[in-house]
Amino acid sequence: MNKILEKEHFSEKVVKLVVEAPEIAKSRKAGHFVIVRACEHGERIPLTIADADTELGTITLVVQNVGTSSGKICALNPGEYLTDVVGPLGQATHIENYGTVVCCGGGVGVAPLLPIIKAMKQAGNRVITVLAARTKDLIILEKQCAEYSDEVIIMTDDGSYGNKGLVTEGVENVILREKVNLVVTIGPAIMMKFVALTTKKHEI
Q: Read off the pLDDT of residues 96-138 as tens digits, 9 standing for 90 and up.
A: 999 999 999 998 889 889 999 999 999 999 999 999 998 888 8
Tell whether domain 2-89 is in CATH 3.40.50.720: no
9-61 pLDDT per residue, tens: 888 888 999 999 999 999 999 889 999 998 888 889 999 898 999 999 999 99
Written out in words, the top-level CATH class of the domain with range 100-201 is alpha beta
CA angle 196, 151, 64 (to 5 degrees): 60
pTM score, whole prediction = 0.85
Q: Is the pLDDT of residue 149 over 90?
A: yes
63-90 pLDDT per residue, tens: 888 888 888 999 999 999 999 999 899 9
Distance CA 96, CA 120 (A): 7
Cα–Cα separations (whole angstroms), residue 170 to 18, 62, 101, 176, 180: 31, 24, 14, 10, 13
Comparing CA positions, the residue from 45, 33, 35 lying closest to residue 69 is 45
Residue ranges, CATH 2.40.30.10, the chain: 2-89
Residue ranges, CATH 3.40.50.80, the chain: 100-201
